[in-house]
Homo-oligomer: A and B are copies of this chain.
Amino acid sequence: MKEHFMEQAIKEAKKAFDNGEVPIGAVIVLNDKIIAKAYNKKEKQNSVLEHAEIIAIKKAEKKLKNWRLENCDLYVTLEPCPMCASAIQQSRINNIYYGIENSDQKNHEIIKQICKNTKTNKEVELHGGILKTECEQLLKTFFQKQRNKTNV
């Protein structure tokens, strides 16, 4: 099942790719059903807030008519940034399943701390490496394409 949901997140990431955005996709799952899916729209929307995870949370909140996304899991192709990790934790999502680890080791440490800080929110469990190769390939192809553009 994990792989199935990550495949759907990768499909979303491909939409970002086709729009010239860094290819990151996310889905939110409740009771084995996808209730929200989204892809990165930062450049198109001209906003740092338009990460795939944030858009997915917004959609899930609307669907459930509640900011408490209890019993939900989030699948995302790349480990979330601190903004998204904190939003996910505040949403009371149970688990984050991601494909590739954040290449910035400090950010990776910060994200773990955010997910484990249970003073005001419960712990979010982090699970990495789901369809890692596919998620990685998409990002590599994107950045290769960007470099080729710059070199022309």
Instruction: State the A residues within 8 Å of B (CB).
Output: 42, 46-49, 54, 57-58, 61, 65-67, 81-87, 90-91, 104, 106-107, 109-110, 113-114, 117, 119-120
Q: Are B120 and A104 in contact (CB under 8 A)?
A: yes
- In the complex, the chain B residue whose C-beta lies closest to that of A65 is B46
Q: Which residues of B contact A42 (CB under 8 A)?
A: 67
Alpha-carbon distance A54/B50, docked complex (angstroms): 11
* Known pairs A48-B87, A83-B86 / 15 extra A-B pairs, C-beta < 8 Å: A47-B57, A48-B57, A48-B90, A49-B58, A49-B61, A82-B83, A82-B85, A82-B114, A83-B83, A83-B84, A83-B87, A86-B86, A104-B120, A109-B113, A110-B117
